[in-house]
Structure 1
Amino acid sequence: MDYPKIWFLRHGQTEWNAEGRIQGQLESRLSPLGIEHAQQQAGLMAPILAQGPACYVSPLGRAQQTARIALGDQPFITDARLAEAQAGVFQGLTRQEVAAEYPEIYAANPLNLDLFCAAPQGEGFDAFQARITDFLTGLSEPTVVVAHGLWGQVLRGVICGLSRAEMAALPNEQGCIYQLYNGSEQVLR
């Protein structure tokens, strides 16, 4: 599939990111470092926003907070499909707590994308990817997306034609912008 140019911003570090706690669709505010991440993104966004792209943001607070900093006064549309993977019973737990309470699931899924999608009562990978693909197929113009780490891994993987294992192994940086176009990505720092 041929998608328009997309600039993907992962939200800045949150208090729970700093604690190693699984957020999923629960809320945690940006940490001071997370605010710096969003400010770094704001510095990179000026020439992109000058092109007049459509802007979409996850409804979750950490993405909204990042967007208000990184996009300045640029208007954006909140889209529920941009929410992070729903990680079921793992939400609110640290990775260590998941390892202690669900040792078999934890041992079988060392990477976050696989672990979150294996969570009991969670969304699961297929539904998560379908939600992201549904959003992507509706795009017809260059677009800025402010969302989440795992969401971005799947987005980047779909656009770049990666397998699920390759998606799960992608780096997940904050404070940068992933520019996606013609089946490849470039990291803007």
Structure 2
Amino acid sequence: MSEFPKIWFLRHGETYWNAEKRVQGRKESDLTRKGRMQAEMQSMLMAPVLKDRGIPCLVSPLRRAQQTARIALGGRDYETDPRLAEAMAGVFEGRTLDEIAQSHPDISSANPHALDLFCEAPGGEGFDAFEARIRSVLMSLEQPTVLVAHGLWGQVLRGIICGLGRAEMAALPNEQGCVYVLENGEEFVLRVE
């Protein structure tokens, strides 16, 4: 039996900066048309779950997650929790991956996974603080919960629940438009077929 209640995790839909391969972190970028369609797919997947009005929904304060939640949760009320914000990526925020590779070649080449790159960014949050923030959310959950947040946030969340190390977390797939269901130390993915 897992120490955490069941979680439905939704990553926000594609943003303009996602499409440009530009690091967002705490900076804002709106959903693209594709991103809104991905949130609609999540809405179809979540409709049966959200019939139970007792399931709380927690959402990142960042605009892209808020936009996704409004669509994916079908207008359902939710709480905003600042602990669900994406990892702060310091000087890398707003830059493309190519720009980072040019300005910080050593960091870029040593950290091919986005999780590691964000966490090694000068002036960034760092992995330990990021993981501690996510663990604090997990430890506060008292019942099955829907979480709407970000890609790297979700990788660490999923890794903690499934007992993975940092390298395994960094290598996890990071899909948009699906729902990750986390229960009893395992995950399965709901997708629109």
TM-score, normalised with respect to structure 1: 0.99
> Which structure 2 residues correspond to residues 3-152 of structure 1 after superposition, within 5 A?
3-52=4-53, 53-152=55-154
CA distance in 1, matches of 2:31, 2:76: 20
Following TM superposition, by how much is the alpha carbon of 1:72 offset from its aligned partner in structure 2, in angstroms? 1.4
Following TM superposition, by how much is the alpha carbon of 1:61 offset from its aligned partner in structure 2, in angstroms? 0.1
Deviations 1:130-180 (A, max 9, x none): 000001000010000000000000000000000000000000000000000
Gaps of 5+ in 1: none
Q: What does residue 178 of structure 2 align with?
A: 176
| 4+ residue segments displaced more than 4 Å | none
CA distance in 1, matches of 2:46, 2:157: 20
Following TM superposition, by how much is the alpha carbon of 1:51 offset from its aligned partner in structure 2, in angstroms? 2.5
Q: Contact (CA 8 Å) 2:107, 2:117: kept in 1 or not? A: yes
Corresponding letter in the other structure for 2:113: L
Deviations 1:62-94 (A, max 9, x none): 000000000012110000000000000000000
Following TM superposition, by how much is the alpha carbon of 1:99 offset from its aligned partner in structure 2, in angstroms? 0.2
CA distance in 2, matches of 1:90, 1:25: 11
Deviations 1:102-124 (A, max 9, x none): 00000110000000000000000
Corresponding letter in the other structure for 2:51: A
CA RMSD of aligned residues (A): 0.6
Match of 2:188, SS? strand
Aligned length: 189
CA distance in 2, matches of 1:119, 1:30: 25
Gaps of 5+ in 2: none
Answer with 42-51 or 161-170: which moved more: 42-51
CA distance in 2, matches of 1:156, 1:179: 9
Deviations 1:2-57 (A, max 9, x none): 10000000000000000000000000000000000000000111111112311000
TM-score, normalised with respect to structure 2: 0.97
CA distance in 2, matches of 1:173, 1:51: 25
